[in-house]
Amino acid sequence: MRYYASTSERGINRESLPFKLYEKAKKFGTWDPRNIDFSRDKADWESLSGEQRESLLTLISFFYSAEEAVTKDVLPLIYAISKTGQFEEEMYLTTFLFEEAKHTDFFSLLLQKIGVQGELNSLHTPAYRKLFDEILPETMERLLKDQSPKAIAGAAVVYNMFTEGILAESGYWTFYQNLVNINKMPGLLEGITNIKRDESRHIGFGTFLLQRLISEDASMLEYVLGKLQELMPLALQISEAPEEVNPFGVAVAGNHAFMQKQLNARIEVLKRAKGKTLEEIYKIDVVF
């Protein structure tokens, strides 16, 4: 006989962090790329130097393909969480697929509006392909056969903590550093702001999920931190550039410093989960 959480004596835990994130997604996750005003972006794009366009297009291509990749790769995580009976977590994870697909939609529309056509895969570096062609899909697909805590933790580290919490966050930082001071491409920046808000919820969920797993098995902390440290060299390679300062005047070292700051922040939050009860983990407040 199948167990139904919703109609059990326990019911749906509306006070749990996953459910609160689900509520946030209903409220803030329904923005539409077609409602963004791109009227200035084409002229701004054409006003950039050739080097600036190449640098910005590379960053856009990284995000565009990454959003498609995570849209494809998130399904096994939803499946694994469903199999382990965490219904509130599954409820929130259903919003991931919609939001990642919408982010892909945004970059498609942006390129159409600024008049950029053709393939962009040639801009992807070997380090980028290592993550998105190999590590991410292999880690996520493992969940179709293995729903163990370690397999789920590995997926949360690669997808939520690393890809979204370190790489994407540093990418947002670069978008803002490139364009805010020169007051260019407001439509692009509006979309990035919306995407960043969605992804902050995803990162919040990944943090919660890892905290839950650590609270259930303290030895999981060492595994999680080791996996994060193992991935960091790849982040530095992906963000590397041929020059120390990009065509917008932004130092690559600043991007790397921001990455390290993000890593340190994730590590400290995860460390605090050790020794906490599951009830304490569930009561963590939502700040996204």
Q: Specify the DSSP class assigned to residue 29.
A: T
62 with 171: CB under 8 angstroms? yes
* Domain-located, residue 26: no
**Per-residue model confidence (pLDDT) at position 285:** 56
Q: Tell me phi and psi for residue 50, to 5 degrees.
A: -60, -40
**Per-residue model confidence (pLDDT) at position 286:** 45
What is the pLDDT averaged over residues 263-286? 80
Three-state DSSP at 196 gives helix
Q: pLDDT digits over 172-185, tens only? A: 999 999 999 899 99
* In the chain, % of residues over pLDDT 70: 98
* Domain-located, residue 25: no
Q: pLDDT digits over 11-52, tens only? A: 898 988 999 999 999 999 999 999 999 999 999 999 999 999
Burial class (CB in 10 A: 0-12, 13-18, 19+), 261: middle
* Domain-located, residue 122: yes
**Per-residue model confidence (pLDDT) at position 284:** 61
* Domain-located, residue 27: no
**Per-residue model confidence (pLDDT) at position 15:** 87
Q: How many domains does the chain contain in total?
A: 1
Residue 138 domain boundaries: 38-282
Q: pLDDT digits over 198-224, tens only? A: 999 999 999 999 999 999 999 999 999
Angstrom distance (rounded) from CA 19 to CA 32: 23
* Domain-located, residue 8: no
Q: Say yes or no to pLDDT of 129 above 90.
A: yes
Q: Say yes or no to pLDDT of 279 above 80.
A: no
Q: Say yes or no to pLDDT of 119 above 50.
A: yes
Q: pLDDT digits over 76-91, tens only? A: 999 999 999 899 999 9
CATH of the domain at 259: 1.10.620.20
